[in-house]
Amino acid sequence: MRSAGRLFRFQVALGALGTLVVAYAVVGVARATAVGAPSVGDLLHACWAVVPAGRTLPSFAVVALAALSATSVVRGGASAFRRIRAQRRLVRALPPCAPATIEGTAVRVFRGDRPRAFCAGLARPRIFVSTGAWRLLSRDELAAVVAHERYHARRRDPARLLVIRVLRDALFFLPVLRDAERRYAALVEVAADEAAVRSAGAEPLASALLHFGEQPGGAVGIAAERVDHLLGEPPKWRLRVSLIVTAALALLGVVALSATAPAGGVSAPLLAMQICRVGMIVAPVIALGMIVRRILAASARR
């Protein structure tokens, strides 16, 4: 599907640009940091003062860039590690699988009462089908589901989704990536539905979606875009202009801060202590926000 392909390329391009900007920020911090040891008085003052007296705007820029770069790298690395591990655990947690062939496509059948079907694996994506789906679905419905998952496997969608989600987590200061990731995940399902319709027809796919939708926790969800598409309405992937403008301003802001960083103007130990000090203040605020968010979400579910 062209819409999904264009949106994926947009996210990768924006993610690459954001990565270059973060790399430029790292270079700016390295250029502005002096390795020499500060005096004892400077260290004691840095321990207690979030904003040291006499610091200029370029010095503040170095602290901000260092915090942004460190957060981006840590979030990106943690996201990649967590998602790769989750993919491996998903396959390892399945009951023993038996090989089978459906409409010429190799699948792995695992024991499970609920109808489930999904594509998993990064380097070598494979299709998994539960015995519940095997028993519940008709031959045509099962062929439609497998055609849907075959599309994901051929395009390596698990790896694609991992890439854009890692970029989304690493470049947290670009909210447009979060919105684009949600849209892409929905459009990928629509594109796989198109492939299934071409292979097995619209009626078996729609019937299979209903079977999966009736089961809690089914692997094939029914998104609004998929229903609209099956009804003949072309899906849309337009992103909010405000988010795109915000992303552009954020990137320009990081570049501007990097350009103002003074060469050798900040002591490395003092810089590290200031970042830690700011983190000690910001972390509780973020934690409190997360707690409030969970409380509100739990209240909304009741």
In the numeric block, which tokens belong to residue 256?
């501007």
Confidence check: pLDDT of 195 > 50: yes
**pLDDT of amino acid 114:** 87
Confidence check: pLDDT of 75 > 60: yes
- What Å distances lie between residue 222 and 92, 124, 125, 228, 260, CA to CA? 26, 26, 22, 10, 50
CA distance linking residue 158 with residue 163, whole number of Å: 9
Confidence check: pLDDT of 302 > 70: no
Q: Where are the domains of the chain?
A: 2-87+240-301, 89-230
**pLDDT of amino acid 93:** 87
Average pLDDT over residues 139-153: 93
At residue 154 the predicted structure's pLDDT band, cuts being 50, 70 and 90, is: very high
**pLDDT of amino acid 155:** 92
Read off the pLDDT of residues 48-73 as tens digits, 9 standing for 90 and up: 454 444 455 556 777 778 888 888 99
128 vs 41, higher pLDDT: 128
**pLDDT of amino acid 85:** 93
At residue 201 the predicted structure's pLDDT band, cuts being 50, 70 and 90, is: confident
Percent of the chain with pLDDT over 90: 31
**pLDDT of amino acid 160:** 94
Read off the pLDDT of residues 160-183 as tens digits, 9 standing for 90 and up: 999 999 999 999 999 999 999 988
Residue owning tokens 């694609």 = 160
Range in 44-53, 129-138, 141-150, 205-214 the model is least confident about = 44-53
**pLDDT of amino acid 217:** 39
Read off the pLDDT of residues 208-247 as tens digits, 9 standing for 90 and up: 888 776 544 333 344 555 666 666 666 666 778 888 888 9
Percent of the chain with pLDDT over 70: 70
